[in-house]
Amino acid sequence: MKILKPILGTNIKCVQMNIYSVLAGFLITAIMAAMISFGGAACNTGAQNQAVEIISVTGPIPPITPGGPTVEITLKNVSDEPVNGLTATLMAGRSYDFTFDVSPSMPLMPGASIRQKSILIGGGFSDNVLYPLTIKATLQSGTTSVYTQQVQIKAPR
């Protein structure tokens, strides 16, 4: 650090703190990348009362269409009551809505999973970018759970 002092100026503590901040940023990024590669999603920024968990976001799903890539979202009901309404909105350049086939007469029961595919018309994505995915679930009691999570769209296996 004595070598840096004449080059950078008089406040070497400030330089040390900036270096530590950059290293902390790299560490956080590395942890997020590890979470994504093992779980497919990271960075929950929503409420603590998530009724539905994101299991996976996969794409492009064959067959490849000229209109845009097909993406599949898999969600799981982790609440104690049925889900009567369920939508997901993926922000990948623009907003893409996924409406899941659940209703009061055909709810998503606790512990059950559901998938929905959609073509991102005129869209595209990169496999190394995080995209915001907003989940909105309406429970049988009328309670609504809404949260946004950053997800990585992974290639199908």
**For the segment 86-135, what is each residue's pLDDT rounded down to a tens digit?**
999 999 999 999 999 999 999 999 999 999 999 999 888 988 999 999 99
* Residue-level pLDDT at 141: 96
Contact partners, residue 100, CB within 8 Å, separation at least 6 = 75, 86, 87, 88, 108, 114, 116
This model's pTM is above 0.75: no
Query: Nearest to residue 156, comparing CAs of 30, 64, 26, 75?
Result: 64
> Which distant-in-sequence residues (6+ apart) come within 8 Å of 15 by Cβ?
1, 4, 8
